[in-house]
Amino acid sequence: MSVRSATTRTPAEVDTAVEGFRLWPAAFDAAGQAALVADVFARLRDAPPYRPITPGGRPFSVEMSNFGPLGWVSDRAGYRYQATHPETGRAWPAIPDVLLDLWRDTVNWPEPPDACLVNLYRDGARMGLHQDRDEADLGAPVLSVSLGDAAVFRIGPARGGRTTSLRLNSGDVCALTGPARLARHGIDRVLAGSSRLIPGGGRLNLTLRRAGFSPG
């Protein structure tokens, strides 16, 4: 799979008012994107995307699944990580090797990710501003890969204040590190039809995290 030297490229300078946000535009070239999408959808046959609900009972607009020893889930019992798909009861598929390599080459963290959240955006799906704070070690970075339709991404400081919007295109990679680890962030909208990469249309977002819990 082709990844455009993410190990040697300096992240793009982006004025987000959030120190620690890093962006690698077009980190995956066209062939690498296509290969990764094919790999993801093959793995999703064993962990079908589903639409979770919030603890308050509201359905998410995105479909979700996971790869790795742990997967992030949400239901009336709350937000958490668990080792099995909530609908099939089966273990999550393994994280693709290319994503493990990407983590190793970009975020400079000593331990590998143990969870990869798969978000599938279709039909007007979005993601409101939130913080990733369900992990045991909130110092570990969060690494995200965008595939398919472009999206308007919004990010702001953890304690409130000005937010910044930027476009994430297919093949872009971004990371929340250091002070940005608890930044508020979300997807305001997906630019439908801006890519033909995803079968059936839409956007895939793959988010690598170090949850830090025992899968048992």
The answer, as to whether pTM is greater than 0.85, is: yes
205 is in an annotated binding site: yes
In the prediction, which pLDDT does 3 show? Answer: 57
197 is in an annotated binding site: no
In the prediction, which pLDDT does 177 show? Answer: 96
In the prediction, which pLDDT does 13 show? Answer: 62
50 is in an annotated binding site: no
In the prediction, which pLDDT does 4 show? Answer: 54
204 is in an annotated binding site: yes
**Token representation of residue 199:** 């079968």
CA–CA gap between residue 5 and residue 2 (Å, rounded)? 9
| Spans of the chain below 70 pLDDT | 1-10, 13, 15, 216
CA–CA gap between residue 39 and residue 43 (Å, rounded)? 6
> What are the structural domains, with CATH classification, of the chain?
21-209 (2.60.120.590)
Distances (CA, A) of 137 to 60, 92, 96: 25, 21, 23
126 is in an annotated binding site: no
In the prediction, which pLDDT does 156 show? Answer: 95
- Please state the φ and ψ torsions of residue 204, each to the nearest 5 degrees: -105, 135
In the prediction, which pLDDT does 9 show? Answer: 62
72 is in an annotated binding site: yes
Residue with tokens 């079908």: 48
CA–CA gap between residue 109 and residue 142 (Å, rounded)? 10
185 is in an annotated binding site: yes
Smallest CA-to-CA distance from 173 within 2, 3, 1 is with 3
154 is in an annotated binding site: no
